[in-house]
Amino acid sequence: MTGHLKSAVAESYRRLSQLGLNIGSAGNVSARDGDRVLITRTGATDAIDADGVVEIDLDGAYEGDLAPSSEWEMHTAIYRAAPRAAAVVHTHSDACTALACLGEGLPPFHYMVLGFGGPDVRCAPYFTFGTPALAAAAAEAIQDRTACLLANHGMICHGRSLEAAVATALRLETLARQYLMARAVAPPKLLSPEQVAEAQERFKAYGQPKAGRRIA
């Protein structure tokens, strides 16, 4: 199982590069396996394979010559904050990073923002990369959400699977780009609290099968 999951983590990291969400050695990917975490190595590139994925515990202990990503603590903090998360994706994607460099989160300019778990996507304050302070800030900002921005840095998200986490990263990048495009023209009109509440109700059944009607 561990070997298969390592391959899947590496494949997901390569997928982020193919989607244009990471360039070079930016970002990192992990998957949880019980009380262990499989995370991309420090300095990973889009040529990574299973051998470049490091197994750690939730305190960051590992064996072998390869060190885990410098952001391992941010990943494990999010697994603690979101126990149902099975995978975490961190990127420096363009639109998310641009918005994060403004120190802003993503407001409810579009109903799809609610798909991350609340009426907005928060932006964690800036802390130096790879530090416990950044890990704590990210875990707080992502509470009750599946994603958050990281000021002057990028974004991080989690999902029930690696595929879901990558899809969440792509969806957030798309919405951040659309928000910045709209804001370049004029201040976007945000959804009202009433519109947010109505959309949240609709989201409860989003993607669920509906009972069909019998056709005589």
* Contact indicator for 169, 91 with CB cutoff of 8 Å: yes
Q: Return d(Cα 55, Cα 43) in angstroms, integer.
A: 16
Catalytic pick from 11, 55, 63, 71? 71
* Contact indicator for 87, 158 with CB cutoff of 8 Å: yes
Is 63 among the catalytic positions?
no
Q: Return d(Cα 159, Cα 90) in angstroms, integer.
A: 12
Residue at token pair 């930016």: 26
Of 66, 77, 57, 60, nearest in space to 127 by CA = 77
- Give the residue numbers annotated as catalytic, written as ranges: 71
